[in-house]
Structure 1
């Protein structure tokens, strides 16, 4: 999910007050003890993570020899019906649920996400009166209508009256489901009306040639049962996203015949739903690095004018080993596509579907480049992090500002240029976090939004020889004001996070990874550990503690001091130059004693740029361990002439909340 940068980043002026001192005396008065908040025992004290390493989850941060996760395979048939007042989805989902846990299960839990849009839902009840981006104040006809629930187990079928609690449904079993691979089938008949604005994740929007329907959270989904918390049943309330089991999806969408349907996974019946010309163009796109029009603007407008006359088409899609699927439909769609080259030599396809309003007068500056942005983002992330495991992806223009599902993304219809690039590369980046590395994004939003924001920097630097490289800023200094006012730590669950702070899930996490890579570990050790984490947890369910252990183990550093301070607290960083004194009065060539102070509760390694009067310039790196025993550190620097200046953090990598004490300058 995308956030709007301007809401969360406050630029901080860089004209800090430079401190003037005497080369043979203190640069400034030593910090008073009562001005120092730092306590080394708080930061470097022992930590016991709440989930200990075991044979399920290794102390080394990878799945253990007894790791298990359950599986949900879906067969879905759904129909979209346009009405004068409502557009409805009517469906039948058959779920084959495999219990790989060692536990017997007396009941199953499912997610009914559409119930968020019922008047009086928990999400609607907790929406601020002034509204917010995830406005879910209720939709008069919103929510699921569950017609029937049928369970088949041990060759016996029976009807169940489900217990529905807000956006969750419990299915109580007549006979407990056995563990270690036992299976049960649940068939549900359901329907719902499509909300106009589905919490900025789905919905419908009218354009000149018709509505664009972005359909997500459109079938009852299994909750995850895992080794950490058992059933994960946090309700869907708007901001917090999803946690889903992996499985195979075989689904059919029946829609009016004048609509194009695009969806997650591979279209199985193109000959039945596309014209011969469209199929020929689609085949050409599969071999083309340049975007190929499958339905051009003129054809889209002409198609929209053709009445459906009650006729329908059924579109058949499959997606294997995914945690979700989504789709979109419209008679207003332009459709284009291009080939994707994966590192292994495998080929895929990137596509875009959008109304003529998104195409605009200058296609090169608007959605005419959507497929190009999508194709190269998929190739960049596949080459650097993990090869995209599916064959296709599609970008859809519509009502949602930015939302992601496996193999399909929704982006706002009026974006163009660098804004469209940023939205597309962010949303498809979510196919790595959390669609491939399948974390619980409802409980740990930073683990997907922040990691994705971090890798977005890489794609922006590398796309088209850095065309949008100028959009990658150094976040450390621009985030200072946001971090100063920050009330809630990153480990806060989504729905408990202050709405002024939730943007920090994205940018504070990304900055933390930047600091680990650029300041603490270096590129080689960070990249090795981070890539191992991705490889080991691909298509699995890691927790934050698996990530912490993976980074510690593969990098060879105990980083718990960093994880504790950055993710579990709102502690700040304030490094200061306290004094610069000659070792021998009047003889700068005998060296100087430099005293540093760590004033706030967070600590980081120290980088100092030292400039001497003889022209020698040197950057020193002091490890974080200088703060292990206290807040003040003095060391001897072997100067050969008078020190002219010292600057802390010369590369501006750290979010130091007080820049006025970061520079020493000798008096004239």
Structure 2
């Protein structure tokens, strides 16, 4: 019994009425919130035996006009109907139409005027309209006959000449062109950057061709308009893309290069062969070669041909400014080429960190999800701060002109590459519907980014993932929050809601609710089940429960369907000990307690002001009670105790002699989220113990519970959530006795000048070159 009771919390008692067990309980199962399982999507969260998805294969030819910053393209799409439905029309996405002056995105953009306005803000509001959007020249069937089509903002419906039956395919072609946006002034997920010093352009091309929309068993056609936040839902297919650019441009793209002998010099081909066997980055196009190309500006053209299998999209980048390096990464025994393309302005930072970051991402994500299946993974530096596509990503961050950089820039670069390359897994392979549910790709990927960052370096300064980093958002004004389960275009505080909160929720699931072993197995199972398929939120929720054996409906409900917060307080603690009945022991305790009692203020002053009491002056006034000690133990007391003790069973004697301490601790849920209780008990001898209590302690009463902790050693303090595991928004009520949490304020002198980064400061003080890499 002694070992079983040692330091354990053995009693949990409900405080408050049991009426809260009604339907508003936090532990109600997710019933109406989740769709009914069927033969396409099962109750376990796995694809059903009749699961299906459509397919779209592309053959595209595109030419870049480096003088006018535009492209002209022609594509053939072979669309396969794997659904059980007969289709009479197809929907195609025209995402470039977001740049049309009258697009929904432009028409609904809001702004406000202030008494003081910056020139930048005014220039943005009064800028010349950009002639953006797709110019559709023709839509034809395989035989060259024109097809009827209707453009509705960012969507185009193509009416089929005859219904497309199940298991049939339909091929059609689209000819089109569009101007390329200046990403620095118009923003967006693609565009060009102009380098004024050398008069060259760097292009990052995405959403650049008409793309098939998704038709699935949940939504039918996913043809929600692209307004700007909700990204993309796309079917898988094979691509062959021919990209014609100025002859001195270097092109990186989704897929594998098919005609290296025609577009690379023999020296560059040898470097490629070397890189394919190297575990460190090998430069294929050097900085010297890129600098010469910047000055020469060839007028003739080259066509780069790329092919990719089973991808949901295709993106590319092109510039004569590109340096190109690559290395080999082993993933489950398979060779994968990790590569980077970047201008000289990105060195020395990119040459040192970009490709290594790509390789690291592939290793860590493959360990936790599925083995990376593609042959290529690319990081490109240009105007886009961070965006993802199959096998290729666009990433920001570059050093200062003098080659120095801050730690924020360094870690910002590593983090954005991990994040964007990581998107190959979510949603490029585990292909969720970004137009509807941003969190399914951004949230899951941000969680994986956090794991990869922590494996990069001890104490890596991750921005998202740790519970305490989401606290400020969780306790912010409720009017500025929406549940995670909100359509992508309606999300408020996009970064916190779609990235930070779901990533934190998954970290809490892994570390505090499920434990790493159960979580990692279930998360990997989700990735395996839905690789190269179209999962929905219910598929994720159900798989995590199905593969772990943990009921998580309370967690999904609280974290994903509400804006509740974790704010649990430790209201009070009461200490009880067992009355041993032994008069020697109990009287000694009472005497000790009596001696510890402080003298009252009056008593203290009376000792000074009353030199002698009357009884002290006249001893004749003393009697029995002046000599009587009520805490003295008599032989009769001892005999009575002995009789009582001998009447007990051996088990009862053991319990009486144990000298246990009982602590009744009352907890209150002030924030709405039910969460596990992690309690630290600090003992009188300096040791401590952690007790983890599952969230189910709240199942009878969501608002208040009382727990009894039984210990052998006296406890001097209790702390709730000592390791900041639950994103508790108020730590001031997490300790008993209460502890003051210090804060600080800063005195500063306003200075509008940009401060030098630490590398520049070191250079100025020592005159030394602080660059860690001189470039490639």
Q: Deviations over 1:55-105 (max 9, x none)?
A: 10011111010000000001100000122xx31110011100000000000
Match of 1:510 in 2: 503
Q: Retained in 2: the 8 A contact 1:92–1:189? A: yes
Match of 1:592 in 2: 663
Q: Which segment drifts farther, 532-541 or 467-476?
A: 467-476
Select which of 333, 343, 347 maps to 1:355: 343
- Structure 1 position 281, deviation (Å): 0.8
Match of 1:490 in 2: 484
Secondary structure, aligned partner of 2:308: strand
> 1:645 and 2:634 equivalent?
no
Select which of 550, 559, 566 maps to 2:552: 559
Larger Rg: 2
Match of 1:238 in 2: 228
Select which of 721, 729, 749 maps to 1:657: 729
> 1:213 and 2:203 equivalent?
yes
Select which of 94, 108, 127 maps to 1:126: 108
Match of 2:622 in 1: none
Residues 1:438 and 1:473: Cα distance change in structure 2 (over 3 Å): closer
User: 5 Å matches for 1:71-90?
Assistant: 71-83=55-67, 86-90=68-72
Aligned equivalents of 1:647, 1:473: Cα separation in 2:
25
User: 5 Å matches for 1:79-118?
Assistant: 79-83=63-67, 86-118=68-100
Aligned equivalents of 1:375, 1:620: Cα separation in 2:
40
Pick 1 or 2: higher relative contact order, CA cutoff 8 A, min separation 6: 1
> 1:174 and 2:134 equivalent?
no
Select which of 556, 569, 574 maps to 2:567: 574
Match of 1:143 in 2: 133
Select which of 471, 486, 490 maps to 1:480: 471
* Alignment gaps of 5+ in structure 1: 1-29
- Structure 1 position 585, deviation (Å): 8.1
Residues 1:617 and 1:185: Cα distance change in structure 2 (over 3 Å): same
Match of 1:64 in 2: 48
- Structure 1 position 635, deviation (Å): 2.5
Aligned equivalents of 1:249, 1:201: Cα separation in 2:
21
User: 5 Å matches for 1:380-391?
Assistant: 380-391=364-375
- Structure 1 position 157, deviation (Å): 5.4
Aligned equivalents of 1:319, 1:281: Cα separation in 2:
23
Aligned equivalents of 1:278, 1:596: Cα separation in 2:
67
* Alignment gaps of 5+ in structure 2: 1-13, 113-119, 400-408, 580-588, 590-658, 740-776
Residues 1:579 and 1:488: Cα distance change in structure 2 (over 3 Å): same
Q: Deviations over 1:568-597 (max 9, x none)?
A: 110112111122113348888341222222
More strand by share: 1
> 1:407 and 2:391 equivalent?
yes
- Structure 1 position 558, deviation (Å): 1.5
Aligned equivalents of 2:170, 2:731: Cα separation in 1:
61
Residues 1:468 and 1:263: Cα distance change in structure 2 (over 3 Å): farther
Match of 1:47 in 2: 30
Select which of 690, 697, 702 maps to 1:619: 690
Select which of 395, 419, 423 maps to 2:416: 423
Q: Deviations over 1:251-287 (max 9, x none)?
A: 1001111211110110000000111111111111111
Aligned equivalents of 2:96, 2:502: Cα separation in 1:
30
- Structure 1 position 38, deviation (Å): 12
> 1:606 and 2:659 equivalent?
no
Q: Deviations over 1:594-636 (max 9, x none)?
A: 2222222210111100112244421111111111111222222
Aligned equivalents of 1:590, 1:88: Cα separation in 2:
78
More helix by share: 2
TM-score by length of 2: 0.76
Aligned equivalents of 1:596, 1:45: Cα separation in 2:
21
Match of 1:9 in 2: none
